[in-house]
Chain A
Amino acid sequence: MNMSQTVMVLLRRELMLAMRRRGDVLTVLFFFVIVASLFPLGVGPDPKLLRLMGGGVVWVSALLAAMLSLGRLFASDYADGTLEQLILTPTPPVVWITGKILAHWLVSGVPLILVAPVLGVQFGLSNEALGVLVFSLLLGTPVLSLIGAIGAALTLGLRGGGVLVSLLVLPLYIPVLIFGAGAVDGAMSGLGSEAHLSLLGGILILAFMLTPWAVSAALRISIE
């Protein structure tokens, strides 16, 4: 069987599982919305300030939501033995790991992208900035899933794995945050966002090529 078929089968399985556990998907989504809505309550309703902060706030919320959803990536497969069986398939681990990360992004990243414009409107972002926000999330959230997968794989089965994963992963998320929020800022201030978006795209390509290997090594370490 070729590799794209494996990825397709895995995607179908993961989406089916997510459909049967819709609650988990919605929890992450509502977390995203709530965190973003807390900021105006914390700093006050001044529209000028909110417009200035909007892009950054939505991006920080996306970072936190992505991190929160990492627990779903490997933990249940690890607990019920599916992960061992996946490792023991003839398919190279990098292939199905990529499939799993892709599925994770579809389930927890894409909903964030769909809701983000609503949050952007709450912060008074311009139409152009809303478009840039969506596009930057489209480039950036897959990176969050990719890098996060390393942390999720390393902390499998550990006490306090959830908090630990944040300590490992959040510092590595910083470049995505900077370029993602920077792109929205660029659109708002009229400085342009092309440079930010191309850097974000570069990071995506790099992460896509490298992280599955790191995740594969991490899973081997954790499963021994």
Chain B
Amino acid sequence: MLEGKDLACVRGERTLFDHLNFTLHEGELLLVQGANGSGKTSLLRMLCGLMAPEFGEVLWRGKKIGAARESYHAEMAYFGHSPAVKEDLSAFENLDFACRLAGIPVKREEVKGALGHLGLGHCLNLPAKSLSQGQRRRVALSRLLLAKARLWILDEPLTALDQAALKLVQSLLGEHLRQGGMALLTTHQPVMIPGITPKILDLSA
């Protein structure tokens, strides 16, 4: 269970949000909404532990994420604005290194399977610089399949994706939630996952 308690975020001299509370249980989806500049990305980075909240705390299974850093990071996967894909490495090498550095040894077959799942089976050995923006984002998304994290924190995962990929990502999300996973995401597109009613956290309110 992920909990945000009384969170406040100050950027420069502006208070983006204050007294923010939420809880996210297994199998739940939380959509973070708000206008541009309302602090969506800041909130997500705060929940990952990349940024310290000005006030309040983030709890993972009842413990502060700073104190339970190692176990929290092992169970959490973050997808940020930049896809963390190295241009000079192939799609396979990118995923292989990313997983190994995260402490998850993966077999070539698994990587191939994950890329195939996102419709990139043919790109396995292509250098990432020859891939389009959307394809790079899909490479990054297939990391989620390999990491097998309980909690997904996704910043705009649906941007730059075509219709087919949009559907695919939503079905992946559905699968993840049905298996008891948790997901928290920001998006400007409507998210439709059969059988799941997302919780909404509106930062503009």
Contacts and interface: CB of A to CB of B under 8 A. Distances in A.
Answer whether A and B are interacting partners: yes
Given A16-B89, A84-B50, A224-B50, A89 B102 contact: yes
B78 to A, nearest CB: 5
Interface in A70-91: 76, 79-82, 84-91
Interface stretch (A5-13, A54-62, A145-153, A205-213): A5-13
Contacts of A17: 86, 88-89
Given A16-B89, A96-B101, A223-B50, A90 B71 contact: yes
Contacts of B50: 84, 87-88, 223-224
Interface in A1-43: 1, 6, 9-10, 12-13, 16-17, 20-21
A88 B48 contact: yes
Given A9-B101, A224-B50, A84 B80 contact: yes
Contact of B49 (A20, A88, A96): A88
A89 B78 contact: no
A72 B78 CA distance: 24
B86 A82 contact: yes
A86 B101 contact: yes
Main secondary structure of the interface of B (DSSP, over half): loop
Given A84-B50, A84-B78, A85-B78, A91 B84 contact: no
Those 5 A-B pairs whose CB atoms lie nearest each other, nearest first = A81-B82, A81-B84, A1-B103, A20-B88, A90-B74
A80 B83 contact: yes
19 contacts: A9-B97, A9-B101, A12-B97, A16-B93, A17-B86, A17-B88, A17-B89, A20-B89, A76-B86, A80-B86, A81-B83, A84-B78, A86-B101, A87-B50, A90-B70, A90-B73, A92-B70, A224-B45, A224-B52
Given A6-B101, A10-B101, A89-B101, A79 B49 contact: no
A85 B45 CA distance: 11
B98 interface: yes
B108 interface: no
Contact of B84 (A10, A84, A90): A84
A89 to B, nearest CB: 5
Given A13-B97, A17-B89, A224-B50, A91 B103 contact: yes
Contacts, number: 77
A209 to B, nearest CB: 22
B105 interface: yes
B199 interface: no
A68 B118 CA distance: 40
A1 B82 CA distance: 26
A85 B78 CA distance: 8
Contacts of B82: 79-81, 84
B192 interface: no
A126 B83 CA distance: 53
Contact of B73 (A16, A80, A81, A88): A88
B105 A85 contact: no
A80 B71 CA distance: 25
Nearest to B87: A80
Contacts of B100: 1, 9
Nearest to A96: B101
Nearest to A93: B69
Contacts of A88: 48-50, 73, 76, 78
A21 B70 CA distance: 33
B176 to A, nearest CB: 18
